[in-house]
Amino acid sequence: MNLEKFKRAGIITIPSLFTIGNIGCGFFSILCSVSGNFSKAGWLILIAMFLDGFDGRVARLLKAESAFGVEMDSLADLISFCTAPAILIYFFALKEIPVWGQVIACMFVLFGAIRLAKFNVLAHSGKGSKKYFSGLPTPAAALVIVSFVLSYNIFAYDANGHILPFMKILLPYVYSAIAFITIGLALLMVSTVPYAAFKEKRNPADKRKGTIAKLALIVIVLFLFFKYPQDVIFIVFGLYALMGIIMVFVRAFIKKEDK
């Protein structure tokens, strides 16, 4: 009996190892940002996201889900997807804005913490939706910042680096507006703007619709990702952040038309 309990405890621990790796990546990303190694800091956050995507799946696969794991996951997200990106963007760009740069970076962390707390409350109460997130998820907000830093670093300092041609035109404008973009991401995290969760199971008939077009799009995105990973991440998650806002206005316009 004691052996069974020991084995069960070991199984429950396995998903937490991914979470611990997530926290470690967030911590070392912060150290890299402070020392000015922005590319390494950004890639460490991306690795943290990869690990974050596995801990829950591994827990469900092993039937090792626990309240401890849920709490650990939220604490890891606070470090890796709120604090680490805020420090990264502060030392990369916001420190050029006296005082306000610190305030904006702190705002990103605080609003990210509120977003995580709100998500946990909804999940525990059973009011969470599998179809939509309420507010921009912290990993998505972090990915916008991280991918921008990685793209701009290549654009500004790596003449041999791969970057999409139109990004060379776009990035200087994004850099100039990064303070407002960071504020916007922070506000979106605590908003009630609905964002697709991509968790809801669809019936087979819906899956078959437009299969060829979807496959073609996936192939194109994957090809571009392997050649311009940071650019593709920035475009995809930048559009994801914008789509929530656009859909709010579209729905408001439709309701107005229906009256």
pLDDT digits (tens, 9 = 90+) for 176-230: 999 999 999 999 999 988 888 766 555 555 555 556 666 777 777 777 778 888 8
The pLDDT value recorded for residue 11 is 58
Average pLDDT, integer, range 141-148: 95
DSSP string, 48-72: HHHHHHHHHHHHHHTT---HHHHHH
The pLDDT value recorded for residue 1 is 46
Crossing angle of helices 67-77 and 2-34, rounded to 10°:
10
- CA separation for the pair 73, 57 (Å, rounded): 12
The pLDDT value recorded for residue 132 is 80
Q: Is the pLDDT assigned to residue 95 strictly greater than 50?
A: yes
- CA separation for the pair 176, 36 (Å, rounded): 20
pLDDT in tens, 168-178: 899 999 999 99
pLDDT in tens, 29-78: 999 999 999 999 999 999 999 888 876 676 667 665 666 667 788 899 99
Domains of the chain: which residue ranges? 2-258
Nearest CA among 171, 138, 139 for reference residue 46: 139
Q: Is the pLDDT assigned to residue 85 strictly greater than 90?
A: yes
- CA separation for the pair 22, 17 (Å, rounded): 9
Average pLDDT, integer, range 5-14: 55
Which CATH fold topology does 2-258 show?
A: Four Helix Bundle (Hemerythrin (Met), subunit A) (1.20.120)
The pLDDT value recorded for residue 69 is 66
Among 20-34, 55-69, 94-108, name the one with the lowest average pLDDT: 55-69
Among 4-13, 88-97, 131-140, 183-192, name the one with the lowest average pLDDT: 4-13
- CA separation for the pair 185, 136 (Å, rounded): 8
The pLDDT value recorded for residue 119 is 84
Q: Are 88 and 145 in contact (CB under 8 A)?
A: yes
The pLDDT value recorded for residue 258 is 62
**H or E segment to which residue 133 belongs:** strand 132-134
Q: Are 185 and 110 in contact (CB under 8 A)?
A: no
- CA separation for the pair 174, 27 (Å, rounded): 27
Q: Which residue has the tokens 């609003």?
A: 111
How does the average pLDDT of the chain come out, rounded?
Answer: 83
The pLDDT value recorded for residue 6 is 44
Q: Is the pLDDT assigned to residue 233 strictly greater than 70?
A: yes
